């Protein structure tokens, strides 16, 4: 899974959601 690509797109979409998504992706 491309975590870097997802984080980049998430950052452009929503910063708050990106933080939550990044934490879930770490699991």
What pLDDT, on a 0 to 100 scale, did the predictor assign at position 1? 47
What DSSP assignment string belongs to 1-27? Answer: --HHHHHHHHHHH-HHHHHHHHHHHH-
> What is the structure's pLDDT at 11?
64
Mean pLDDT of the residues in the chain = 64
Q: Is the pTM of this model over 0.85?
A: no
- In tens, the pLDDT along 1-27 reads 456 666 677 666 666 666 666 666 655
């Amino acid at each position: 899974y491309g975590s870097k690509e997802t984080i980049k797109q998430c950052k452009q979409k929503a910063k708050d959601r990106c933080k939550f998504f990044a934490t879930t992706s770490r699991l």
